[in-house]
Every structure is written in C-alpha cells, then in structure tokens.
Amino acid sequence: MAPRKNVRMTLAYDGRDFHGWQRHPGVPTVQGTLEAALSEACGAPVEVRGAGRTDRGTHARGQVASARVPAEIDAASLGAQVAKRLPSSLELVALTEVDRSFHARMSAVGKRYVYTIHNAAELPAEARGKVWHVPEPLDVGAMQEVLSMFVGEHDFASFATKATHARKSTVRTVSVFTMEVEGPRIVFRIEADGFLYKMVRNIVRAVVKVGEGRWSAAKLQEILDARDRHAAPGTAPASGLCLDEVFYPQEADGDE
C-alpha cells in the first residue's frame, strides 16, 4: 500500500437526512457519505472512524472523525475537495493533518451533548425534527433541582439502553449537567468522560418525568441506585439531541 497520513475532521450535520452515523448499504449515513466524498477526492478507498455513532435523527455540531489518506495529498486542498462533494446537510468544518497515533474515538477523553426541548403548545415548522416537542407545561424548577444527582462518578446502568457491542463497565463520570430556559426552549448541556448507548436521551426522559410531576427526586435516586435499565422510563426522541463537542488531550490535536 502507498504511504498514508492521518487526518482529523470536524463535522456538523442535520440528522434528519441520515440514518445515523454508521455506514449501512442502501440508506444515507454520515459515515458512508463522508467516505464516498473522501474516496472520490483521494482517488482511492478511504475508511473513516468517528468519535461516536450517533443514531438516526441525532444532530452534530462537533462530531470528529479520522482517516488515513494518501501521503502526497495536501490537507488543505483535500478539505476543499471533500467539502464540495458533501450535501448541504453535512458540513466539513475543518480537516487537518494529525499524528499517526490519533484516533477519533480511542483518543477522546470526553464529550459534550446538548439536548433541546420545545415546551409550548405549538411547534414552529422550522423546529420540526430539531427538538423534542413537549406541549404540556413542565416544572422547570423541579427539573433543575435533580440535575446534580447525575454529576460525578456513577454507575449509569439504569440509563443505558442495551447495545450490540460489549462494554466493560457502565460507570461514567459526568462533570457538567446544566439546564437553561430560553423562552419556550429548555436546553440541557451534559459533559462526561464517556457515554453509554442512549444514556443522554434516557437521562433527559427521566428528568422530564420529574417536570411532569410524575416522579420525585427520591424516585429518580432510587432508579439511579438500582443499576437496572428496567427501573427507568423510556427514551427521549433523537430529534432533540446534538453532539456538541468531543474533547482530546492537547497533544492529540496537532502534528508531532
């Protein structure tokens, strides 16, 4: 094989146009669309690795991917060539050459997700598919009060939808979990060293149960302590979720 170098890409996309991140024959996916554009621009097959496998309908502002491309191709030129081959719903925010050891998923040390709820009777047409529409009024004060119980190191087994891939542990450390009310919009921001499958959406659904007056803080603590997915409620829609940023150690961000 001809010599290759490693590139890092930052991506933003509208999840409504894709069947999730992971490539799948016959349907548009983010990984598949990006690989097709990269391969065409490079004149050779290119495999892309993403920082996270977002589900169908989930959005991103700061998804990160890495790929090995032919060494002779200039990174700046490649970025321009790839960008013009992508649909409007998938934006290549940046493409840079990085050290060969960089891996979009394995090198990550944390992520931030944003989840948005539109809490009003009517949903503007432009917001459809971009938020979770909850028409009934929510008690935002009660919701605010329970956020802190998720911060810190916990076993989040009760909030992890079973996935097909094996996982060694369901313990994660949440460093930030905030909620802001912006008119009819409720915006959650959650940062952690890692997330289990559908963990953010499951936590948001549980917090909304409190806002609906159907659960108390004590009930939520009981569910967290149970470490059993069957104890928790359903899952909030993918439409409100956005991968906002992926965090890496400083030394992973540039050439060495």
Residue for token digits 């590139």? 7
Catalytic position from the list 55, 74, 155, 253? 55
Is 55 one of the annotated active-site residues of the chain?
Answer: yes
Q: Are residues 126 and 62 in the same domain?
A: no
Within this chain, do residues 130 and 228 fall inside the same structural domain, yes or no? yes
- Residue 38 CA to residue 19 CA, distance in Å, equals 19
**Over residues 60-87, mean pLDDT:** 96
One domain for residues 22 and 142: no
Residue 166 lies in a domain: yes
Which residues span the domain enclosing 38? Answer: 4-107
Residue 158 lies in a domain: yes
State the total domains in the chain.
Answer: 2
The predicted model scores a pTM of 0.93
Q: Are 160 and 202 in contact (CB under 8 A)?
A: yes
89 and 11 within one domain: yes
Structure tokens at 30: 């983010």
Confidence of residue 193 (pLDDT cuts 50, 70, 90): very high
Among 73, 107, 141, the domain-final residue is 107
* Pair 48, 64 in one domain: yes
State the residue for tokens 């009310």: 181
The token pair at 79 is 């970025």
Q: Which two tokens stand for residue 63?
A: 């998804």
How much of the chain exceeds pLDDT 90, in percent?
Answer: 89
Q: What pLDDT, on a 0 to 100 scale, did the predictor assign at position 251?
A: 44
Among the three residues 107, 136, 168, which one is the final residue of a domain in this structure? 107
204 - beta bridge partners? none
Q: Identify the pLDDT of residue 219.
A: 94
Considering the domain architecture, whether residues 34 and 83 belong to the same structural domain is answered as yes
